[in-house]
Amino acid sequence: MKVLLTGGAGYIGSHTCVELLNQGFEAVIADDFSNSKPEAVKRITEITGKNVDLYPIDICGKVALTKLFEEQKIDAVIHFAGFKAVGESCQKPLMYYRNNLDATLTLLEVMKEFNVNKIVFSSSATVYGENNPIPYVETMPITGCTNPYGWTKLMIEQILKDTANADPDLSAVLLRYFNPIGAHPSGRIGEDPSGIPNNLLPYVAKVATGKLPKLGIFGDDYDTVDGTGVRDYIHVVDLARGHVAALQYADTHKGVEAINLGSGKGHSVLEVVNTFTRVNNIPVPYEIKPRRAGDLPEFYANAEKAKELLGWEVEYTLEDMCRDLWNWQSNNPDGY
Ligand code: NAD
Ligand code: UDP
């Protein structure tokens, strides 16, 4: 099966591409490198020994995307391409709506034209919004988000549901990721955020290298195990494996399914920092700061549906995630 990965040079796309190639799929990447580097694609080949056809294109552009579909016999698509920074989406909402929605609409139109009817989409736990109880289950009402980034995910989920309703041949799997962290155990690919990281683990890694002086922990007075925020962290290789399973599911089922990809367990910020320090034997200086606006105290997945429908569950522990993150960061202190 030949799979198109939009945004395949990015953090999750590159790891998924490695898993696909290792399992005998062919892969084509379309990425405009707005948040990634071509070097990531070279390293995919280095790890797997297999070639990937790369299209350095903005997938909002129909002409370029149509050319790709003309040149390649695509069987299925995994759609990662999009902007993903929550804070930036509040400052530049139009840029987020334009890119994330346009990319999806163009992609679906071109897929239809070429009779490609299997798609796996990168959604997010953020679609559960503020009011659902934890753990989050796929049957919960999805009613609204707290930021434009989240709204793009929710809107794209709706676009895919409506498209599948109108087209009985379409298979769409909406993967709701929890918090992906870590890196490929080879240390050759990993997360490479530009500027000062917003997310916890990339920040911890920069503090560990000495590039940032200390971590700010946003709040220690939540009603959680130790007062700090709790999230469901998932190793990016487990997440990548989940995409392969989702693709296999889409190959044999029609219609739309939303599926959580999480471990089903929550870890606090302090647990994460202490685990990173313990497994890597590196101190991570921190200070307690005020809560970050918009943060929820605690959320994690109910991971049963992924187990039942995809036969998938996580294999890596928090220790593995911290170790593999440091392996990547220490070997690539300046990223790619
Ligand atoms: P990433 O930024 O590393 O990867 C996204 C890739 O898409 C980048 O390589 C970027 O250059 C590319 N891209 C963006 N717009 C494009 C366009 N118009 N045309 C072609 N390429 C384009 O992000 P990631 O962490 O790998 O996330 C992948 C997907 O998963 C995103 O849709 C993101 O919203 C979603 N997601 C990520 C997380 C997370 O914590 N990383 C959580 C939930 C959902
Ligand atoms: N966090 C923190 N300091 C940071 C970044 C994040 O204390 O510099 C906390 C944040 O408040 C949350 C957890 O770490 O409780 C995960 O945050 P992240 O931004 O990685 O993911 P998200 O909030 O999107 O789930």
Q: Quick one: average pLDDT of 246-252? A: 97
| pLDDT tens-digit series, residues 282-333 | 999 999 999 998 899 999 999 999 999 999 999 999 999 999 999 999 999 9
Give the Å distance between the CA of 81 and the centre of ligand 1: 5
Question: Which pLDDT tens digit goes with each residue over 24-39?
Answer: 999 999 999 999 999 9
Flag the least confident range among 200-204, 233-237, 268-272, 292-296.
292-296
200-206: long-range pairs with CB below 8 Å, 24+: 200/231, 200/269, 200/272, 201/233, 201/272, 201/276, 201/321, 201/325, 204/272, 204/273, 204/276, 204/284, 204/325, 205/325, 205/326, 205/329, 206/329
Higher pLDDT, 143 or 29: 29
Mean pLDDT of 85-91: 93
Ligand 2 and 295: CB distance under 6 A: yes
| The predicted structure's pLDDT at residue 293 | 87
What contacts 282, CB < 8 A, 6 or more positions away? 208, 276, 326
User: Is residue 194's pLDDT more than 90?
Assistant: no
Residues classed as catalytic: 149
Mean of pLDDT values over 15-29: 98
Ligand number nearest to the C-alpha of 193: 1
Mean of pLDDT values over 170-183: 98
Choose one of 14, 15, 35 to mutate for the ligand 1 pocket test, by most ligand atoms within 8 angstroms of C-beta.
Answer: 35
Which of 67, 60, 61 shows the shortest CA–CA distance to 28?
A: 67
Q: Per-residue pLDDT for 217 more than 90?
A: yes
* Residues 214-236, mean pLDDT to the nearest whole number: 98
SS3 258: strand
Residues within 6 Å of ligand 1 by CB? 6-7, 9-13, 30-36, 58-60, 80-82, 84, 99, 103, 122, 124, 177, 180
Give the pLDDT mean for 65-77: 98
116 pLDDT higher than 90: yes
Centroid of ligand 1 to alpha carbon of 330 (angstroms): 23
| Ligand 2 atom nearest residue 228's Cα | 15
